């Protein structure tokens, strides 16, 4: 059989592109190397607990949001979920800030914690919401960005209007620059808070984050963040079921070891020397894995250079999956908690800043009775974890640092834990096939770093890419949008 499109990787980008192509009547086959769907937003189960592999927060289900529109177009019923308000509690050394989804409540919280600069911070957020909405309007039109050929440039020109032109100042400044315009750059508390939110969403800090990207991320929290029952893997399974309902195939435990081209068709080599043939290929297994997937001949055709990507910095994640006694968190409504290490408030990685995600007590699929599943996650440098000599010692040290920080804010946490499972970049490579355990795409490094982004194009006619290493970047919304961009381009 010759497929119209073969999709490699059942992360959210691959699932979204395959579902949209299925809706439009194309013959699609989707390959996933592991036995779980969702990639870094997947799941696994141990001893009665369901754990989320990486990403845990549901976004885009508000009216008009990415998943709201996708589900409507596919005719899928949205899963059960809980709107988060507060979105999370942020635990700083001397206070806890309730990060409310509701804008009016959030502004009251600003009054409470930042009384001397409250009016300036609220003006800053007014700008965040205004500019973030403009970014949404632009990105939701699914442009191929950065433009790679004449057709892409032509489509970009069509997007130029009075609203898009308003974004230009924010595409030439960092969030730090915008803080200076509000005389907020020296407010250490607010800066620490913002760094935590930007590190969690855009993988970088205020001085390195392009303003329009940071604003888009910050305003997304306030549009609606959700705890999806069953975890984000529920969304992945619904998309896969839709693909199969259209008569298309989703193959688990089918790694694609090599993609080559002969004549007008691509041939994908999977397990037991099976070969599948397709007219077009979508790679949702990250640019880090690109050259390991393409044949030598195809690898020479792409403009993405192997050595450059090998040396380009990208974050990994240290993660702990565990169970905890439900009683420990009964006095808080928040399911998500961000912690700033009281001894190192300026460290944004390796435990200096990290997120705790708790399962909703109403979601009985996530944990045994009287327990809740949880995930602790922090950014970490990748390379140090590949030294075998002290690997176990480093893992134990990092595990203890995260657990003890939570125990500082929630006394008794360490004693209440059950089934503690730490993971490192080595774990992410083993189970999610992420090269060297790199996750979350490429962190912005300055005001013009967005110009160094990759689009859905590989430079090889008929081979596309989507996922967290492709514009618009990391997070379930970003990777889903990249998948929809590919589907739009293929069916244009």
Position 474 scores a pLDDT of 86
pTM of the model: 0.95
Residues of the domain holding 56: 2-82+230-311+442-490
Measured CA to CA, the distance from residue 223 to residue 205 in angstroms comes to 22
Q: Is 131 part of a structural domain of the chain?
A: no
CB 283, CB 465: distance < 8 Å: yes
Q: Is 126 part of a structural domain of the chain?
A: no
Tokens of 144: 């191929």
Give the mean pLDDT of 52-67: 94
Q: Is 472 part of a structural domain of the chain?
A: yes
pLDDT above 90 covers a percentage of the chain that reads 83
State yes or no: pLDDT of 345 exceeds 70: no
Position 347 scores a pLDDT of 80
Tokens of 364: 């009985």
Q: How far is CA 81 from CA 37, 61, 146, in A?
A: 19, 10, 35
Q: Is 167 part of a structural domain of the chain?
A: no
pLDDT digits (tens, 9 = 90+) for 213-271: 999 999 999 999 999 999 999 999 999 999 999 999 999 999 999 999 999 999 999 99
Position 176 scores a pLDDT of 97
Residue for token pair 């790199």: 438
Tokens of 121: 């911070």
Position 286 scores a pLDDT of 85
Position 62 scores a pLDDT of 95
Mean pLDDT of the chain: 94
State yes or no: pLDDT of 342 exceeds 60: no
Position 343 scores a pLDDT of 66
CATH code of 29's domain: 3.50.50.60
Q: What would the 3-class secondary structure string for the chain be?
A: CEEEEEEECCEHHHHHHHHHHHHCCCCEEEECCCCCCEHHHCEEEECCEEEECCCCCEECCCCCCHHHHHHHHHCCCCCCEEECCCCEEEEECCEEEEECCCHHHHHHHHHHHCHHHHHHHHHHHHHHHHHHHHHHHHHCCCCCCCCCCHHHHHHHHHCCCHHHHCCHHHHCCEHHHHHHHCCCCCCHHHHHHHHHHHHHHHCCCCCCCEHHHHHHHHHHHHHCEEEECCCCHHHHHHHHHHHHHCCCEEECCCCCCEEEEECCEEEEECHHHCEEEEEEEEECCCHHHHHHHECHHHHHHCCCCHHHHHHCCCCEEEEEEEEEEHHHHCCCCCCEEEEECCCCCCCCCCCCEEEEEECCCCCCCCCCCCEEEEEEEEEECCHHHHCHHHHHHHHHHHHHHHHHHHHHHCCCHHHHEEEEEEECHHHHHHHHCCHHHCCCCCCCCCCCHHHHCCCCECCCCCEEECCCCCCCCCHHHHHHHHHHHHHHHHCC
Q: Is 344 part of a structural domain of the chain?
A: no
Q: How many domains does the chain have?
A: 1
Q: Is 44 part of a structural domain of the chain?
A: yes
Largest CA distance in the chain: 68
State yes or no: pLDDT of 5 exceeds 70: yes
Q: Is 28 part of a structural domain of the chain?
A: yes
Q: Is 40 part of a structural domain of the chain?
A: yes
Give the mean pLDDT of 477-484: 96
State yes or no: pLDDT of 337 exceeds 60: yes
CB 219, CB 128: distance < 8 Å: yes
């Amino acid at each position: 059989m010759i497929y119209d499109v073969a999709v490699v990787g059942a992360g959210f980008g691959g699932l979204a592109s395959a579902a949209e192509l299925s809706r439009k009547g194309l013959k699609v086959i989707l390959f996933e190397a592991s036995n779980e769907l969702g990639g870094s937003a997947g799941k696994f189960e141990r001893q009665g607990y369901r754990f989320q592999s990486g990403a845990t927060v549901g976004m885009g289900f508000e009216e008009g949001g990415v998943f709201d529109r996708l589900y409507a177009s596919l005719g899928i019923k949205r899963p059960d979920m809980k709107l988060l308000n507060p979105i999370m509690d942020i635990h700083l050394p001397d206070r806890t800030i309730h990060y409310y989804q509701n804008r009016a409540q959030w502004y009251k919280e600003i009054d409470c914690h930042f009384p001397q600069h409250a009016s300036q911070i609220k003006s800053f957020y007014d700008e965040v919401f205004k500019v973030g909405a403009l970014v949404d309007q632009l990105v939701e039109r699914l442009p191929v960005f950065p433009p790679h050929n004449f057709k892409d440039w032509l489509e970009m020109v069509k997007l130029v209007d009075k609203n898009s032109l308003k974004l230009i100042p924010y595409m030439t400044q960092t969030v730090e620059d915008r803080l200076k315009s509000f005389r907020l750059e020296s407010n250490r508390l607010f800066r620490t808070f913002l760094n935590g939110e930007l590190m969690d969403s855009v993988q970088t800090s205020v001085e390195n984050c392009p303003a329009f990207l940071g604003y888009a991320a910050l305003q997304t929290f306030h549009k609606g963040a959700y705890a999806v029952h069953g975890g984000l893997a529920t969304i992945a399974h619904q998309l896969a079921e839709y693909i199969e309902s259209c008569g298309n195939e989703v193959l688990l435990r089918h790694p694609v070891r090599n993609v080559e081209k002969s004549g007008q068709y691509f041939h994908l080599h999977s397990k037991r020397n099976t070969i599948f043939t397709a007219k077009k290929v979508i790679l949702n297994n990250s640019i880090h894995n690109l050259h390991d997937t393409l044949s030598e001949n195809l690898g020479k055709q792409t403009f993405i250079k192997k050595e450059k990507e090998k040396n380009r910095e990208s974050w990994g994640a240290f993660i702990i999956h565990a169970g905890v006694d439900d009683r420990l968190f009964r006095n808080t409504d928040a399911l998500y908690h961000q912690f700033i290490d009281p001894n190192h408030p300026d460290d944004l990685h390796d435990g200096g800043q990290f997120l705790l995600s708790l399962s909703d007590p109403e979601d009985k699929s996530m944990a045994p009775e009287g327990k809740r599943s949880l995930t602790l996650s922090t950014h970490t440098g990748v390379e140090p974890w590949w030294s075998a000599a002290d690997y176990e010692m480093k893992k134990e040290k990092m595990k203890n640092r995260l657990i003890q920080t939570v125990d500082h804010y929630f006394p008794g946490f360490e004693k209440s834990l059950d089934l503690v499972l730490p993971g490192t970049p080595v774990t992410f490579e083993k189970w999610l096939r992420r090269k060297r355990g790199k996750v979350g795409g490429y962190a912005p490094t300055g005001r013009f770093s967005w110009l160094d982004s990759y689009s859905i194009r590989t430079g090889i006619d008929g081979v596309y890419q989507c996922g967290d290493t492709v514009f618009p970047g990391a997070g379930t919304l970003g990777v889903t949008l990249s998948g929809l961009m590919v589907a739009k381009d293929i069916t244009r």
